[in-house]
A and B are shown apart, each in its own frame.
Chain A
Amino acid sequence: MGLDEALLEAPAPDPDEGAEAGAPPVTVRFYSWSPDTLSLGYFQRLVDVPPAAAFLGIEAPGVGPDTPLPSVVVRRLTGGGAIHHQGELTFSITTSLEHPLYRGHVEGSYERVHAAIASALAEAGVMSSPRAERTPASEAEGTGMCFHHSSPVDLIWNERKGVGSAQRRKGGRVLHHGSIKLSTTELETGVATVAGFASPGALAPLLRAAFERHFDVRLEPSVPTAAELEHAKAREAFFGSDEFLRRR
């Protein structure tokens, strides 16, 4: 999460130092989580996410001795609902809000990103489509989980939500988080999954190729800069700290 924050807060490329003219650069990260982690949406209250409340020993509706617990709880920079990161491919996209992908209203940017994801999923044999006005079978009240609540632009298949997504817009830049499940989790029952991949990382090449096609970019393999790593290290503990988790 600290690395995603570093990418979100990265300074704009300097044209005087050789930055290319044209569309701003796009950075895509693919990752999975170890150990399994529950991430809260930026504005979520702990009492609205029973497993997070139970993890911190807070009395809340639905919290009891049998409440399943994740290994770790963090709060994300992005909004939306909680996600149990287990058996999942997570990706982040960071770029300028001036990039054509993110210019205009938020809903339109989701439509463009989700069109790319749907294209990748189709190659994996999964036929997804925007929810529109349908009510997926994965909807569930009171869990606080992202995959149990959907909006019209969310991708669904088998009548269930299959891609969790949220954005943070800051200083003219955007951080876009996405999650795709290879299996359901104890906290995310009844959601859509992608079968047939040995590991979350095996799905990444399909997404990368689809992003390149749809975003009209070429994604070069890269590693974080020293400054980005330093930022991530400095913020490593913050996102799971009591101070940040109990902020709401």
Chain B
Amino acid sequence: MRPDDRKYTKAHEWVLLDGDVALFGITDFAVEELCNGNEGDLVYCDLPEEGRTLEAGETFGEIESVKAVADLNAPIGGVVLETNEAIEEHLEILSTDPFKKGWMVKIKPNNKNLDGLLTAGEYEAYVAEKAH
């Protein structure tokens, strides 16, 4: 079971509210789609500059595996406060710990309403359906 302290998107991003800030990341399912178990297959991750304003659903970055580039989309809107620089040097973090050390972006949200996003249970059901 994936962490139930956050919400998820059908594009396999997660968002975790923590007081006045929110963290974004991607799920283990997203990483697995790109790498198929080969954590060395992730080669590059481009994250936004601090201060950038993101709209919900807007592309905030891109990630490249050996054979594909995929967009990263903001689950909610807000202003970028910080990005996880450790990822750019150690992409394997996304494979080993996508829900904690693998956070990508910290934002000041302009809206803390996560009602339109998936709960952990709903996301589990969604990816289970995709796997068939």
Binding site for B on A (CB under 8 A): 42-43, 77-80, 103-108, 110, 151, 153, 165-172
With A and B bound together, what is the CA distance between A80 and B62 in angstroms? 14
Chain B residues with Cβ under 8 A from A171's Cβ? 11, 71, 73
| Cβ 8 A contact of A170, one of B10, B32, B71 | B71
Contact present for B34 and A106 (CB under 8 Å): yes
Please give the distance in Å from B91's CB to the nearest CB on chain A.
Answer: 12
Please give the distance in Å from A90's CB to the nearest CB on chain B.
Answer: 17
With A and B bound together, what is the CA distance between A165 and B66 in angstroms? 11
Whether A169 contacts B64 in the complex (CB less than 8 A), given A105-B32, A105-B36, comes out as no
Whether A42 contacts B64 in the complex (CB less than 8 A), given A78-B69, A172-B11, comes out as yes
Binding site for A on B (CB under 8 A): 10-11, 32-36, 43-44, 46, 59, 62, 64-71, 73, 130-131
Residue of A nearest to B57 (CB): A171
Contacts between the two chains (Cβ within 8 Å), count: 62
Cross-chain pairs A/B with CB under 8 angstroms, 13 sampled = A43-B43, A80-B67, A106-B33, A106-B65, A106-B67, A110-B67, A151-B66, A151-B67, A153-B67, A168-B68, A169-B70, A170-B59, A170-B71
Across chains A and B, which 4 residue pairs bring their CB atoms closest together, nearest first? A167-B68, A105-B36, A79-B69, A169-B70
Please give the distance in Å from A176's CB to the nearest CB on chain B.
Answer: 9
Please give the distance in Å from A165's CB to the nearest CB on chain B.
Answer: 7
| Cβ 8 A contact of B34, one of A105, A110, A166 | A105
Chain B residues with Cβ under 8 A from A108's Cβ? 36
Contact present for A107 and B67 (CB under 8 Å): yes
Chain B residues with Cβ under 8 A from A77's Cβ? 69
Chain B residues with Cβ under 8 A from A42's Cβ? 62, 64, 69
* Central interface residue in A42, A106, A110, A171, by most chain B CB within 10 Å: A106
Contact present for A168 and B69 (CB under 8 Å): yes
Contact present for B71 and A169 (CB under 8 Å): yes
Contact present for A169 and B69 (CB under 8 Å): yes
Please give the distance in Å from B28's CB to the nearest CB on chain A.
Answer: 12
Contact present for B33 and A105 (CB under 8 Å): yes
Chain A residues with Cβ under 8 A from B33's Cβ? 104-106
Chain B residues with Cβ under 8 A from A172's Cβ? 10-11
Whether A166 contacts B70 in the complex (CB less than 8 A), given A43-B44, A105-B32, A105-B36, comes out as no
Please give the distance in Å from B85's CB to the nearest CB on chain A.
Answer: 17
Please give the distance in Å from A98's CB to the nearest CB on chain B.
Answer: 8
Residue of A nearest to B69 (CB): A79
Please give the distance in Å from A221's CB to the nearest CB on chain B.
Answer: 29
Please give the distance in Å from B60's CB to the nearest CB on chain A.
Answer: 13
With A and B bound together, what is the CA distance between A168 and B70 in angstroms? 6
With A and B bound together, what is the CA distance between A33 and B65 in angstroms? 27
Chain A residues with Cβ under 8 A from B62's Cβ? 42-43
Chain A residues with Cβ under 8 A from B130's Cβ? 103
Chain A residues with Cβ under 8 A from B32's Cβ? 105
Chain B residues with Cβ under 8 A from A169's Cβ? 68-71
Q: A43-B43, A80-B67, A166-B69 are in contact. List 9 more A-B contacts (CB 8 A).
A: A43-B69, A77-B69, A104-B33, A104-B131, A106-B34, A107-B67, A167-B68, A170-B70, A170-B71
Chain B residues with Cβ under 8 A from A105's Cβ? 32-36
Contact present for A79 and B67 (CB under 8 Å): yes
With A and B bound together, what is the CA distance between A104 and B32 in angstroms? 9
Chain A residues with Cβ under 8 A from B69's Cβ? 42-43, 77-79, 166-169
